[in-house]
Structure 1
Amino acid sequence: MNPFVLLFIAIISEVFGSSMLKVSNGFKRLWPSIGVVIGMGIAFFCLSLSLKHLPLGTAYAIWSGVGTALTAVIGVLVWKEKMHAKKLVGLILIIGGVVIMKLSGAAH
């Protein structure tokens, strides 16, 4: 499978797992807690498979950066967290950093 497809699955799974943390109530709710374990398990498994073909720094930067940005967007859209200028600038910087890492290391 394409390593970027695996990385995409890892990102979506991590975002799902992180979102389930919000509703797990400190692992006191069973199904959201199971969602955390499954989401994070798939995320790490797919990330590990993508690392067979991608440089560690590049893959991890993309995984963590895009995951952070998507989780922040979900916080705004689903949990009605405030989006303010500093948060928006931070997200833009994260995405910019991911793009630079992708351009610098994944062309092998």
Structure 2
Amino acid sequence: MKQWYALMFAVIAEISSTTMLKFFGDNESVISYSIIFTLIGFSYYLLSKAVTKIPISTAYAVWEGSGLIAITIIGCLIFAEKLSASKLIGFSAILLGIILLKNGTINGEHHE
């Protein structure tokens, strides 16, 4: 179960670093890059801990898909980015895929 927590925090670190890319914008300071690279590195570190018990295909799909959905929501709510109907359908399909992958994985093993 702790691998799922590691995966959850890996997603949070990825979301944070990606959001900061937009916040920092043209600010090319050493501090801003250091924060972004640290969060990205921490995200990959936690992902590496998650794949010790979670199949890598599931962990990566959840990590990337959850991050994509969260960044889309942040983009809409904070940065006033528009979400078309076709994008909404696509993101719904990704969310459904994540749910199916998570439900198809118990204690690090696939069941059928």
Residue 83 (structure 1) aligned with residue 112 (structure 2)? no
Identity %: 29
Equivalent residue letter for 1:56: I
- CA distance in 2: counterparts of 1:26 and 1:43, whole angstroms: 23
TM-score w.r.t. the length of structure 2 is: 0.86
Deviation sequence 1:1-27 (CA, Å, 0-9, x none): 711100000000000011111133366
Q: Which moved more, 1:93-102 or 1:9-18?
A: 93-102
Q: Report the alpha carbon displacement of residue 88 of structure 1 after superposing the two structures with TM.
A: 1.2
- CA distance in 1: counterparts of 2:31 and 2:80, whole angstroms: 22
Computing the radius of gyration over CA atoms, which structure comes out larger, 1 or 2? 2
TM-score w.r.t. the length of structure 1 is: 0.89
Change (3 A) 1:77 1:30: farther
Q: Report the alpha carbon displacement of residue 36 of structure 1 after superposing the two structures with TM.
A: 1.1
Q: The residue matched to 1:72 in structure 2 has which SS?
A: helix
Equivalent residue letter for 1:88: L
> 1:97 is matched with which residue?
97
Structure 2 residue runs of 5 or longer lacking an equivalent are none
Number of residue-to-residue matches in the alignment: 107
- CA distance in 1: counterparts of 2:41 and 2:59, whole angstroms: 17
- CA distance in 1: counterparts of 2:95 and 2:62, whole angstroms: 9
> 1:71 is matched with which residue?
71
Q: Report the alpha carbon displacement of residue 42 of structure 1 after superposing the two structures with TM.
A: 1.1
